[in-house]
């Protein structure tokens, strides 16, 4: 199963368009629209409850369903617009909720995280109104994927400078979509 984690909140999202071009070439997928989901930051009460369940190795609670879905996915596609130098907060909240020791990772004998995720590849799709700096978005996700979740291959797909005066955003986006489609041609 391909898991499409959609953190685009606008119906006409340019990041969403770019992601759909990718997904069209990947096949069937399950979409998780983060702005329509019930993910909340871990406050004291939720964190204490989660800690007790993890310590008891009781992963049957519904609060772990998203972590299990993430861990079982064969491929991950994340669509996240580049906002204010990073990705939307709802994506960070989602990551906070799925980062469950015993489901997406465990600690090895040396104390370092060992990934338990099934996916071998993660695509990160984004668009930016100005210049794009992957340091505060994609690089963070890539580090989690490779070093925590054991998803060894990641790929960044992006379009940038969409709203710079004099640029044609539609042409820039169409060029990025053509590049994505070109990845799947023989």
pLDDT in tens, 49-107: 999 999 999 999 999 999 999 999 999 999 999 998 899 999 999 999 999 999 999 99
pLDDT cut 70: percent of the chain above it: 99
Average pLDDT over residues 1-25: 96
pLDDT score of 185: 81
> What mean pLDDT, rounded, does the chain reach?
96
Query: Which CATH number does the domain housing residue 129 bear?
Result: 3.40.50.360
Average pLDDT over residues 26-42: 95
What's the number of domains the chain is made of? 1
C-alpha separations of 48 from 39, 42, 53, 86, 125 in Å: 16, 9, 9, 29, 34
Q: Answer whether residue 1 shows pLDDT above 80.
A: yes
Q: Answer whether residue 126 shows pLDDT above 80.
A: yes
Q: Answer whether residue 165 shows pLDDT above 80.
A: yes
**Start-to-end Cα distance in the chain:** 24
Q: Answer whether residue 186 shows pLDDT above 70.
A: no
pLDDT score of 33: 97
Which residue range forms the structural domain that includes residue 67?
A: 2-182
Taking alpha carbons only, the member of 27, 25, 28, 144 closest to residue 80 is: 144
C-alpha separations of 161 from 16, 86, 87, 131, 167 in Å: 17, 15, 16, 5, 7
pTM: 0.95
C-alpha separations of 120 from 90, 138, 154 in Å: 24, 17, 9
Q: Which residues contact 181 (CB under 8 A, 6 or more apart)?
A: 21, 25
What DSSP designation does 109 have?
T
Average pLDDT over residues 34-55: 95
């Amino acid at each position: 199963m391909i898991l499409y984690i959609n953190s685009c909140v606008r119906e006409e999202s340019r990041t969403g368009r770019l992601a759909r071009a990718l997904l069209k070439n990947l096949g069937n997928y399950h979409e998780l629209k983060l702005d329509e989901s019930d993910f909340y930051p871990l406050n004291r009460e939720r964190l204490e409850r989660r800690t007790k369940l993890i310590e008891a190795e009781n992963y049957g609670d519904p609060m772990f369903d998203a972590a299990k879905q993430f861990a079982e996915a064969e491929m991950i596609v994340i669509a996240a617009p580049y906002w204010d130098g990073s990705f939307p907060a709802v994506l960070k909240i989602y990551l906070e909720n799925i980062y469950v020791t015993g489901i997406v990772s465990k600690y090895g004998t040396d104390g370092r995280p060992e990934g338990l995720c099934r996916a071998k590849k993660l695509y990160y799709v984004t668009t930016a109104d100005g210049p794009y700096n992957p340091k505060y978005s994609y690089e963070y996700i890539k580090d989690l994927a490779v070093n925590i979740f054991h998803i060894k291959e990641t790929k960044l797909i992006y379009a940038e400078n969409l709203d710079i005066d004099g640029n044609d955003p539609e042409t820039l986006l169409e060029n990025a979509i053509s590049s994505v489609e070109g990845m799947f041609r023989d």
